[in-house]
Amino acid sequence: MLKAYKYRIYPNSEQRIQIAKTFGCCRFVYNQTLAYRKEIYEKEKKSVSKTDCNNYCNRELKKDYEWLKEIDKFALTNAIYNMDTAYQKFFKEHAGYPKFKSKHDNHKSYTTNFTNGNIAVDFETGKIKLPKLKAVKARLHREYSGQIKSATVSQVSSGKYYVSILVETEHKELAHTNHNIGIDLGIKEDKITYIPNYVSKDDFYPLSQEVIDKRKEKYGIEKNKFIVLGCGQVQTRKGVKDFIKCAELLPDVQFVWAGGFSFGPITDGYKELKAIMDNPPKNVKFIGIIPRTEMNEIFNMADVLFMPSFSELFPMSILEAVNSSKPVLLRDLELYVDILFGKYLKGNSAEEWVELINKLRQDSEFYKSAQEDSKYISEFYSKENVNKIWREYYPRVYNKYIKNGKKIKN
């Protein structure tokens, strides 16, 4: 797995000048290639790749602005790739159009890649070797083991300098259990009132079959196919490998995962999960990160929401899905007991989950019962019911502690 280690560095005057030049040149190249890409598209309606932009930098910009040759080439290339990432997000995720970078930005940074030992950390001397900077004094407060992949040099508004070393380390996975760890704060249960956030039925609600069929058609899914939906970040904690195992055991069922690598290569289990996403079983579709405004159609498209997560904080996607009356299938976690009231299907292995999915497919009464459980959860987390809880809570607290002049004690 990839892990970043951040250290404070103390460059000398010559190194600070080189770092400032690199910040400026990366900003310059970012802006120039963004302008180049925009101009080509406006004039020729032609898309320009990040490789084209990099070639433009090497063949044109470095020829016209020779001082770019004094800068680490990887830093300039990564600036172009960052611009490309922002540009792609504009089209794929409907993010804002990339903005030109200003020299007045408080936070400055650049990233360089490891090759032929150009980046090294010496814990004995307290120095870090970086391209064009040579050895930089650093405060190396913690050690690591593994292969260096890249280094990001940054300067914050206070003027301090840092470097973040990205290292590929061996991931030793701990044994998974179905137990949660909690801290007893000594507050009596009768002093606690659970008041949740509500899930808006204006945003999540049942859709017509026509709308559902159009969404299925968009993803190339047969109209009558039974669909098992998983959603969330693609990472080990989410139980993606168990999701895939179930799909392999049910080749005639369509499995769909909505979500992606929100944290890129530093995601837990990235290499293994990326390989699965690039070559999934035939009955599995990874549809990427979906805007929240479109998730209602995704929930409606599914026949069951399947979340085999090993741990969760608060499962909003479950609460959103039940508004479309879809059955919910989960790993048997203690977290769910108090917030979902036992109104869900549960298991702890692929075999158990497959058995329940098959029963949902084959037994219409069982499916309807699971739908009713989801409706129960939906009503509890509705705006009307949460408002009711609040309306009952305030008078109760007022009458018990304030009206009678009592002090609140734990």
Task: Please write the tens of the pLDDT for every residue from 330-383.
Answer: 999 988 988 999 999 999 999 999 999 999 999 999 999 999 999 999 999 999
Q: Are 330 and 308 in contact (CB under 8 A)?
A: yes
- Specify the higher pLDDT residue, 378 or 45: 378
State if pTM tops 0.75. Answer: no
Q: Are 327 and 304 in contact (CB under 8 A)?
A: yes
Q: Which residues pair with 276 in a beta bridge?
A: none
Q: What is the pLDDT of residue 410?
A: 46
Structure token pair of residue 241: 């490998």
Average pLDDT, the chain: 90
Cβ atoms < 10 Å from Cβ of 291? 9
Give the Cα separation of 323 and 337 in Å (integer).
Answer: 19
Q: Which residues pair with 330 in a beta bridge?
A: 307, 346
Q: What is the pLDDT of residue 370?
A: 96
Q: Which residues contact 347 (CB under 8 A, 6 or more apart)?
A: 329, 331, 332, 353, 355, 356
Q: Which pairs count as long-range contacts for 369-374, CB under 8 Å and 24+ apart, including other chains?
A: 370/304, 370/327, 370/328, 370/345, 371/325, 371/326, 371/327, 373/327, 373/328, 373/343, 373/344, 374/321, 374/322, 374/325, 374/326, 374/327, 374/328, 374/343, 374/344
Give the Cα separation of 93 and 289 in Å (integer).
Answer: 8
Longest dimension (CA), the chain: 83
Q: Are 283 and 251 in contact (CB under 8 A)?
A: yes
Structure token pair of residue 246: 């179930």
Q: What is the pLDDT of residue 16?
A: 95
Q: How confident is the model over 94-121, as pLDDT tens digits?
A: 667 788 888 888 779 999 999 999 999 9
Q: At 29, is the secondary structure helix, strand, or coil?
A: helix
Angle between helices 73-92 and 13-44 (to 10 degrees): 40
Structure token pair of residue 252: 């005639």
Over residues 45-57, the mean pLDDT reads: 90
